[in-house]
Structure 1
Amino acid sequence: MTDTMRALLGGAGPGWEVREVDVPTPGPGMLLVRVRAAALNRADLHMLEGVYNPQAKTGDLFTAGLELAGEVAAFGDGVTDFAVGARVMGVTLGAFAPYALVDHRHVIPVPASLSWTDAAALPVGLATEHDALTQGGFTAGQRVLVTGATSSVGLLGV
């Protein structure tokens, strides 16, 4: 692995810009994931417009992309549930690059039967749907009305 990589950055102008950046090093609790596929969702476009500012965004210049699928390339201290080479999908800022840092609590394993592209399109929708149902107090066996099943969150709810 080289020390630098090309990444798609936001915050440098009106659009995304390709720049050479350092490959990140995983700190405690973090995974370095070799990105095999990344998904584009509405939040990415809102970040580019400057109308969405997630807590993970630490400055005006940021590596774009919020969801990915790939293989664990390295991990920091305290990570015991993932090994190098494990197939994972997750949510993090920085998915539009060959390597991204991901909090180990924000990834789940990718089944062998799931393609990289399909896996990359799931994390934000899965997390949003799970959060909505959990905050709503729903448990297994209950019914819920899903309106607007045309987005990933709605489709996952169905």
Structure 2
Amino acid sequence: MRKFAATVALTGFALTGALLASGCQAETVCPAIAQAPLVALTVAKEYAASVKSVHLKACQAGRCAEADLGLFPGSTTVDQGCEPGPNGGDRPCSASSSPDGTVRGMLMLDVLTGDSIEATSMGTDASGLPLPVRTLTFTPRVAYPFGEKCGRFITAGLVLDANGLRQAD
């Protein structure tokens, strides 16, 4: 009887330990970052001075959006490094923004999915003449920057230059 009671007690402790251990597993913490459903267009540096306006149309899964884009100067991030901390760790790091010669605009969509997009750009050049109409079908990029448990990020970026429209890197 004592062996039976000891076995039951040990089994109870083992089950309790297993339940407690399973309740203490690391929880995934995801950042609270919202993603805008948009197609981003960058007019390449070499072509930017030639472009006065851009009209973009994008269709995905039977839904289309189009607009004259508000163009603004593009920039790149310049790393300004980190200062060493007093105990060997890094202190906060910093960066600054520097103009890169491009111009950028954004087209808002109702929803952005991983389905292919057909994009068409048109507009006017610096002298007011029409730019060539450019069309591209591309698949947005899907990434899981914070792990698969935190959901996916979908980006749709385009570059317009003298050769046409292409998907951004």
Which structure carries more strand by proportion? 2
Per the shorter chain, which TM-score range?
under 0.3
Which protein has the larger Cα radius of gyration, Structure 1 or Structure 2?
2
Structure with more helix by fraction: 1
